């Protein structure tokens, strides 16, 4: 789409005291090529957060709520179990605020995630993939209890859904003020985005249908099987409906307590399962057809949004959450088949002009 006049920028009219002040206020971006013609589709691009995922919101909320309550003392070590994005967000926040961070993460998650956390100064303790998400959670809890560390507890803390109620949900309502919003589509990891945004939409935009997605190979919500919980509301065991899936960041092998509120209050109007390969396919389509570079969980959410769009009445408006950037997935199936060297077509282009054999540099 061409612009009739040269683009200009004028600044935001403010200076920021900390990188943490740039969290939130992410844009809702229209889909121009992939959406069916009879509807309008937007995506909320959470990779505009400073550490490039929606979990930056959760990270700042956990730390600042703990500071206010006194649960987190100056200089105290923070520990958390994460598939990556929460750990990266916490690493950013802890670096900016001066807290040591230890992250526990199953060794099945992408290598670049652990490198990013270490680059930001965190220590990363890997747990066996056979122990699944529950294993990394149990390790973080053990380390917190043994060492007197602050356990962030993203899967249980009230600070999770609260930040999405106070920021993400409010942003959506403000962006669509005076406009229609017929469907909101999101997956779940901890359930914070779903629960927090739903609190706002049910009050402010009650006509908006909320669509919850989960992996077809890990249908925890669809199974109807209750999660076994410990006294502190954390998981006491893995969920029997879970099997491995490629949608990193979605659906650990237990139903988080934060998600449970949204389930108990029936915040969603429809639950749709999506296969992992569809998430990969639509993530690639978003990159190649819209220029939107995002991860597998975003691709899976968008895949469900496309299913909703196909069946939606003419004129419907749909918003899908895109949780993070595609750079978190370089060593995952998302980038399989993306060559490092030139393809035959690229070789042919190189050789199509005389300068393809570059002379050696002058001595």
Q: Any idea how long the chain is?
A: 363
pLDDT for 248: 87
Please tell me the distance from the alpha carbon of residue 225 to that of residue 240, in angstroms, as a whole number: 8
pTM of the model: 0.93
Q: What angle do CA 197, 200, 203 make, to 5 degrees?
A: 145
pLDDT digits 0-9 by tens, 9-61: 999 899 999 999 999 999 999 999 999 999 999 999 999 999 999 999 999 99
Please tell me the distance from the alpha carbon of residue 331 to that of residue 38, in angstroms, as a whole number: 37
pLDDT for 249: 83
Q: Is the pLDDT of residue 213 over 70?
A: yes
Three-class secondary structure of residue 319 per DSSP: strand
Residue of 61, 83, 283, 297 with catalytic role: 297
pLDDT for 259: 97
Q: How many CB atoms lie within 10 A of CB 351?
A: 10
Q: How far apart are the first and last CA of the chain?
A: 47
In this prediction, residues 83-87 reach a mean pLDDT of 91
Q: How many CB atoms lie within 10 A of CB 56?
A: 30
Mean predicted lDDT score pLDDT of the chain:
94
Pairing outcome for strands 317-322 and 183-186: parallel
Q: What is the DSSP string of 109-154?
A: S-HHHHHHHHHTT-EEEEE-GGGHHHHHHHHHHHHHHHHTPEE--T
pLDDT for 85: 93
Cβ-contact 40, 318 below 8 angstroms: yes
pLDDT over 90 percentage in the chain: 87
Q: Which two tokens stand for residue 173?
A: 């309502």
The single-letter DSSP state of residue 81 is: E
Cβ-contact 191, 225 below 8 angstroms: no
pLDDT over 70 percentage in the chain: 97
- Look up 55 and say whether it is catalytic: yes
Contacts of residue 80, Cβ cutoff 8 Å, sequence gap at least 6:
86, 87, 90, 101, 102, 103, 104, 140, 151, 152, 153, 154
pLDDT digits 0-9 by tens, 222-235: 999 999 999 999 99
pLDDT digits 0-9 by tens, 244-281: 998 988 998 999 999 999 999 999 999 999 999 999 99
pLDDT for 272: 98
Residue of 55, 132, 139, 141 with catalytic role: 55
Structural domains in the chain, sorted by start:
19-48+161-335 (3.40.50.1100), 55-151 (3.40.50.1100)
pLDDT for 281: 97
Nearest residue to 298 (alpha-carbon basis) of 36, 90, 29: 29
């Amino acid at each position: 789409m061409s612009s009739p006049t040269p683009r200009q920028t004028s600044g935001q009219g403010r200076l920021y005291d900390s990188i943490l002040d740039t969290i939130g206020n992410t844009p809702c971006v229209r889909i121009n090529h992939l959406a069916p013609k009879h509807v309008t589709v937007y995506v909320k691009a959470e990779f505009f957060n400073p550490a490039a995922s929606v979990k930056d919101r959760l990270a700042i909320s956990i730390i600042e709520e703990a500071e206010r309550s006194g649960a987190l003392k100056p200089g105290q070590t923070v520990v958390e179990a994460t598939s990556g994005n929460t750990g990266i967000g916490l690493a950013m926040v802890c670096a900016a605020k001066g807290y040591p961070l230890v992250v526990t993460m199953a060794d099945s998650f992408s290598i670049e995630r652990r490198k990013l956390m270490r680059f930001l100064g965190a220590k990363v303790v890997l747990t066996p993939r056979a122990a699944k998400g529950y294993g990394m959670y149990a390790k973080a809890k053990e380390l917190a209890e043994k060492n007197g560390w602050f356990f962030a507890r993203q899967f249980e803390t009230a600070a999770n859904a609260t930040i999405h109620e106070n920021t993400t949900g409010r942003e959506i309502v403000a962006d669509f003020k005076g406009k229609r919003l017929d469907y909101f589509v999101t997956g779940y990891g901890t359930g914070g985005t779903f629960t927090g945004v739903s609190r706002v939409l049910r009050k402010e935009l009650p006509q908006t249908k909320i669509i919850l997605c989960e992996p077809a190979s890990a249908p925890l919500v669809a199974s109807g099987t209750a999660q076994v919980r410990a006294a502190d509301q954390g998981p006491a065991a893995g969920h029997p409906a879970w099997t491995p899936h490629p949608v990193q960041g979605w659906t650990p092998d237990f139903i988080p307590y934060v998600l449970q509120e949204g389930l108990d209050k029936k915040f969603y109007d429809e639950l749709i399962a999506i296969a992992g390969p569809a998430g990969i396919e639509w993530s690639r389509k978003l990159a190649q057809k819209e220029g939107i570079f995002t991860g597998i969980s975003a691709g899976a959410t968008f895949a469900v949004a496309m299913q909703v769009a196909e069946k939606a009445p003419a004129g419907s408006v749909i918003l899908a959450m895109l949780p993070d950037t595609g750079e978190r997935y370089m060593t995952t199936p998302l980038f399989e088949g993306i060559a490092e060297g030139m393809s035959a077509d690229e070789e042919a282009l190189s050789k199509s002009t005389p300068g393809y054999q570059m002379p050696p540099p002058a001595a």
